[in-house]
Amino acid sequence: MKKIPPLAAPAHTPLTRARLHDLEVCERRYWLRSVARIRWPVAPPRPEVEESVERGRQFHQLMRRHFLGLEPDRTELPARLAEWWAAWLNHPIPLPPGQRFPEITLSVPLGRQRLLARFDLLVLASQPDGQALILDWKTEARPRSRKRLAADIQTHLYPYVLAEGSAALAGGQPPVADGERPVRPARIEMIYWQANDPANPVRFRYSAEQHAANRARFQLLADRAEALQPDHEPPAIDDLTICTHCGYRTYCGKNVSPAAALEEVPEDETGWELALVKE
Ligand code: SF4
């Protein structure tokens, strides 16, 4: 296993979905990626992966422009994008009247750390005590199952951050009562719209109970991040099911056959997120 040179103490980095996931599955991966900041690509990304990331980025841009009132010229869209755009037009998510926030970032404190979420679209319904919808676009070739989405830390992080940070969207309006915020957890719904399964959006209702459980979960992960020392490389884990998909597998000396090694590309590590999330 290679040694890493001593490092300066890292500045606190906001805990995004990818970082929380790293902390949960392998502290070493979090340390390598977010503390030591070592980039360790296994190999140059395959052209089809690069193309898929680029198409996803373009679709996110297209949807952002759509919700800002700028409609695309369909004749100028590349074939795949035109297909996804038609899928949205044929199977849109009905949205209540209210404020719409395309591609907005919210960050909320958690102890000495911050949690950060970048939303594809937030909708705050205009009626009193109305709904708050979080919409997330997915463009992966294989749509994700409800079970897989339920297990994704994004499904828990985004409603948590919205509930905690909603005062910023409500014009700085203070909590309506002790422990309450303009957007209450029970009014939040997260909806995944998958371009390759547009007729079957996957919805998750949020609740005060989930909010309390998430707070405890994220605090635990934030404490883990806090406890990591910049000059102390955490040990490798033994779970090959995780290492197989990890970009640091050769760095850690994990022998995984190239055929099995499909690299995990966290969404908030892809170009359109990196371009927008400032650290
Ligand atoms: S290869 Fe395994 S041990 Fe190494 S950082 Fe990745 S998940 Fe952790």
- Residue ID of nearest Cα to ligand 1 atom 2: 243
- Ligand 1 mean position, distance from CA 246 (Å): 6
**pLDDT for res 8:** 44
In degrees, to the nearest 5, what angle opens at C-alpha 79 toward C-alphas 64 and 123?
A: 20
| Residue keyed to tokens 């309390």 | 212
Distance CA 191, CA 157 (A): 13
Distance CA 123, CA 130 (A): 10
Q: What is the pTM of this model?
A: 0.86
H helix intervals, the chain: 17-25, 27-30, 47-67, 79-90, 146-151, 154-169, 208-227, 240-243, 271-274
Q: Are 134 and 191 in contact (CB under 8 A)?
A: yes
**pLDDT for res 41:** 67
**pLDDT for res 48:** 81
| Residue keyed to tokens 């052209």 | 47
Give the tens place of pLDDT for each residue, 251-264: 998 876 555 545 55
- Ligand 1 mean position, distance from CA 256 (Å): 12
First to last CA, the chain: 29
Give every residue of the chain whose pLDDT is below 70, as ranges: 1-12, 41-44, 128-129, 170-181, 256-279
> Which residues are within 8 A (CB) of 53 and not within 5 positions of it... i.e. 6 or more apart?
45, 265, 270, 271
Distance CA 4, CA 198 (A): 45
| Residue 113 CB neighbour total at 10 angstroms | 20
Closest ligand 1 atom to residue 254 Cα is 1
Delineate the domains of the chain, giving CATH numbers in brackets: 47-227 (3.90.320)
Distance CA 107, CA 16 (A): 9
Q: Nearest to residue 12, comparing CAs of 165, 222, 272?
A: 222
- The preferred substitution site among 23, 37, 249, 251 for testing ligand 1, maximizing ligand atoms within 8 Å of CB, is 249
**pLDDT for res 6:** 43
| Residue 42 CB neighbour total at 10 angstroms | 15
Strand order from edge to edge, sheet including 188-194: 98-110, 113-125, 132-138, 188-194, 202-205
**pLDDT for res 40:** 75
- Residue ID of nearest Cα to ligand 1 atom 7: 243
- Ligand 1 mean position, distance from CA 225 (Å): 16
Distance CA 200, CA 35 (A): 39
Output the ligand 1 site: residues, CB below 6 A: 26, 28-29, 32, 236-237, 242-243, 246, 248-249, 252, 254
Burial of 238 (0-12, 13-18, 19+ CB in 10 A): exposed
**pLDDT for res 170:** 67
Distance CA 276, CA 268 (A): 10
